[in-house]
Amino acid sequence: MNLTSEKALELLEEAEKMNPGRWVKHSKKVGEAAARIADRLGLDVDKARAMGYIHDIGKRFGRRAIHTIEGYQFLISLGYDNEYANICLTHSYLNGDINCTAGGFPSKKCKGYQFRLDFLKEHEYTIYDKIINMCDLFCTNEFVTVDRRLIDIFTRMGVYDNTVYHIKSTMALKKELEGMMGCGLYSLFPEIMENFKKKHRNLYHEFRHH
């Protein structure tokens, strides 16, 4: 069954009632960002937006560590096509590698570890998987630079032995998508520069008043 962005947004807003938090605004931004990149690449814009909206849908159950597998199972239970459920699994792991993720190496004791491991080994990442991976890495509740987003993630989740690997893979993905788009990522998101200018104007005024 196909999942429209309208229905995906309904699922997201329903999930917000169960587990409110910053992850909801983040998901909306990921959907918006994915739509812009898909449009640039001539892909299905509504599909990309829907996938962005639901990539973190497993957080409706309130357990961050296993939101990937719970989101996947939730969408499968509703009868949606695998490509939508798959995004719940793929968005947290770059390169199709379960160890290329933020927050350290996944625990082998965590729910669905073997399923995720087997899935990632066999699954060939689609362009939509890559787009959502990328959008997840420059969206908070607004569009920001990848650097700022990574600092946000590592500040909250910590730095581990796989952190450098994750950073290098993030930048490699950005370069790959920019090559496909024929433009810099940030050129599609002028808000990033506006936010940057606003932040530094505020810092300038703060400095002057001290």
pLDDT reading at 170 higher than 90: yes
pLDDT reading at 28 higher than 80: yes
CA 171 to centroid of chain Cα atoms: 14
Between CA 55 and CA 86 the distance in angstroms is 9
pLDDT reading at 209 higher than 70: no
Between CA 169 and CA 165 the distance in angstroms is 6
Bridge partners, 143 (sequence order)? 139
CA 160 to centroid of chain Cα atoms: 20
CA 27 to centroid of chain Cα atoms: 7
Between CA 138 and CA 134 the distance in angstroms is 7
Q: pLDDT tens for residues 111-152?
A: 889 999 999 999 999 999 999 999 999 999 999 999 999 999
Q: Structurally, what CATH architecture does the domain formed by 5-208 represent?
A: Orthogonal Bundle (1.10)
Nearest 5 degrees, angle CA 109-CA 154-CA 66?
30
Burial grade of 195 (CB within 10 A; 0-12, 13-18, 19 or more): middle
